[in-house]
């Protein structure tokens, strides 16, 4: 998983990194992009407005994870504002963006994604190892 690779790299070199979870409202119809019918965001426009080494993970038509290597909370907030401005300018509809920063918000992929996914809360079950386990049934619907 890309997030775990970034955690290992950041631990090794003492870097921070941020994860953005971009969640597109279910009220927005699919297929807003003329270049990518069936997609809710213009992926190429989103990619063009990030740094070359930022990673965009397209999980579904409505949720994207963006890994921002060597970014702190201030840098992640700047990217969040840029994406919200792009969404408005390109009429992508209502989107929500959650942010988590390594290591402040967690040191595992699960903790970071749980923190960043505050736009679509998940019920967490803690195990003895301190990890969080989430299942599809645990999703809290708005």
Return the ∠ at Cα 109 (arms to 132 and 66), rounded to 5°: 135
Residue 35 confidence (pLDDT): 47
Give the separation between CA 17 and CA 68, rounded to whole angstroms.
6
Give the separation between CA 46 and CA 87, rounded to whole angstroms.
9
**Ramachandran angles phi, psi of 20, nearest 5°:** -110, 135
Residue 121 confidence (pLDDT): 46
Q: CATH number, domain at 79? A: 3.30.70.270
pLDDT in tens, 46-92: 888 899 999 988 766 678 899 999 999 999 999 999 999 988 887 77
Neighbours of 64 (CB within 10 A): 22
Give the separation between CA 42 and CA 21, rounded to whole angstroms.
16
Contact 19, 29 (CB under 8 A): no
Does the global pTM surpass 0.75? no
Give the separation between CA 91 and CA 4, rounded to whole angstroms.
33
pLDDT in tens, 83-125: 999 888 877 777 889 999 999 999 999 999 989 987 554 444 4
Residue 28 confidence (pLDDT): 55
Q: Domain residues for 96? A: 2-138
Nearest partner of 116 among 88, 78, 76, 81, judged by Cα: 76
Q: How many domains does the chain have?
A: 1
Residue 93 confidence (pLDDT): 75
């Amino acid at each position: 998983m890309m997030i775990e690779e970034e955690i290992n790299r950041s631990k090794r070199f003492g870097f921070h990194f941020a994860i953005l979870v971009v969640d597109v409202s279910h009220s927005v119809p699919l297929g807003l992009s003329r270049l990518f019918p069936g997609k809710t965001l213009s992926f190429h426009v989103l990619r063009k407005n990030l740094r070359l080494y930022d990673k965009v993970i397209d999980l579904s038509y409505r949720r994207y994870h963006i890994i921002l290597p060597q970014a702190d909370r201030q840098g992640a907030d700047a990217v969040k504002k840029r994406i919200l401005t792009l969404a408005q300018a390109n009429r992508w509809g209502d989107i929500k963006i959650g942010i988590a920063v390594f290591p402040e918000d967690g040191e595992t992929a699960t903790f970071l994604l749980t923190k960043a996914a505050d736009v679509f809360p998940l019920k967490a079950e803690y195990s003895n190892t301190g990890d969080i386990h989430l299942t599809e049934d645990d999703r809290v619907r708005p």
